[in-house]
Structure 1
């Protein structure tokens, strides 16, 4: 698995957000075999220049990416995300919910607005803005980036701010698209089990977002 090196990624013991730092420290004691650190951006084998699509989630799940070290790996959200990406050619291989499953991204990268797992999956405002110092350069490091899918309103708002634009001018609304500079942002409801169980998001709604991305990229 390829990831971006600093300064686009926080240090393993990043203490910018004391609450998140202490939360991870506690889980390192409880589960020393887990990843328990800021989860790095996942890149395709072709590296930065291959990336035309960036997917921005909210934050690692406690028993998902915080455990495995790969975004959206180890919880239900990954099942829906990676099956969708594979069906539309943004990934290849078989997703088995572990970082050594051999799954590969194709022309896409995946990151989170907040790189550290937050208690109850709820980062606070200062943590979201604090981690934007990594999100902004992450976006800028892809020379051929054209499309960004934002999963959920918090990830969307942080991405818009990272792009230097006003949230009011680019509000979150599932299934829409918004031009921000030379990139197009595609907002989607987060692919969490809660959203799919409650009917906020259906697999068809989610797949349609990425179909729109594929059509936009012209592949």
Structure 2
């Protein structure tokens, strides 16, 4: 069983030892800490969908992507099996990514409305995309143990972004809760009980010793379930991203 297998990597150790985002990204891509996720991501690559046969799948943990001096971070859930697990870039190669990148382009963060591959030349300005789980999980459902094991990577990423980071946009409840857990652990004055996730939720954390103010914004996830049903529209996502830009520009 996954829970009884001994991890082959310790994210808490490897993440904490990273002194830059580039070093952290390198450590993320070499992680094999969760046997169930390692087996799944590699089995997907070995038997891809017909539309992707012949393509060389990334089939490794996916690092964050974007501006290393970002004022805004977007925190999702996990790579998609035939999306980022295939392309090697967060929110790239699937419908969720298509929806997000189009919005990033409309709101001025991306130089292209599409992102198809980690080598397509797309660049982001002022924003970085990341997730609390770095491997594609079966049925898009990482276990609580897998989320906890992977958490140090997001924590260290947000620490390294801290000098410029002013806003975290969380896509869905898992991103919201993972972000608030890190902030509380790092000593930020997160309210207790913690505010629940909601689309449009906004939590302002004031400046503390050595750290600038930070605002956490809630947004429905860009999953096809939400976008196809109209639960999350283009206008709703654009509003959140524009709000993030406003807060980042004014410092809250």
Q: Structure 1 or 2: larger strand share?
A: 1
Give the TM-score, by structure 1 length. Answer: 0.89
Q: Indicate how the Cα distance of structure 1 residues 126 and 166 shifts in structure 2: closer, same or farther if over 3 A, else same.
A: farther
1:116 paired residue number: 135
User: Does the CA contact (< 8 Å) of 1:42 and 1:109 recur in 2?
Assistant: yes
Q: Match of 1:210?
A: 241
2:119 counterpart residue number = 100
| 2:41 counterpart (6, 11, 24) | 24
Report the more deviating stretch, 94-103 or 135-144. 94-103
Q: 1:133 aligns with which of 152, 170, 182?
A: 152
Aligned residues: 213
Q: Distance in 1 between matches of 2:150 and 2:139?
A: 18
Q: Is the 8 A contact 1:52 1:145 kept in 2?
A: yes
Q: TM-score, normalised by structure 2?
A: 0.78
Secondary structure of 1:24's counterpart equals: helix
SS in 2 for 1:130: helix
**Aligned runs of 1:128-207 on 2, under 5 Å?**
128-142=147-161, 143-164=163-184, 165=190, 168-181=193-206, 182-207=213-238
Structure 2: runs of 5+ lacking an equivalent: 1-19, 49-54, 185-189, 207-212
**Could you list the per-position Cα deviations for residues 20-57 of structure 1 after superposition, in whole angstroms to 9, with x for gaps in the alignment?**
1221232343358100000011122xxx3x21000111
The CA deviation at 1:203 is 1.4
Post-superposition shift, 1:9? 5.9
Structure 2 residue 97 is matched with structure 1 residue 72: no
C-alpha distance in 1 between matches for 2:156 and 2:76: 16
- Cα deviation, residue 102, structure 1: 2.2
SS at match of 1:27: helix
Say if 1:158 and 1:199 are closer, same or farther in 2 by CA, change over 3 A.
Answer: same
Pair member with larger Rg = 2
Q: CA RMSD in A?
A: 2.1
Residue 43 (structure 1) aligned to one of 42, 66, 70: 66
List runs of 5+ in structure 1 lacking aligned partners.
Answer: none
The whole-number CA distance in structure 1 between the counterparts of 2:152 and 2:26 is 9
Q: 2:6 is matched with which residue?
A: none
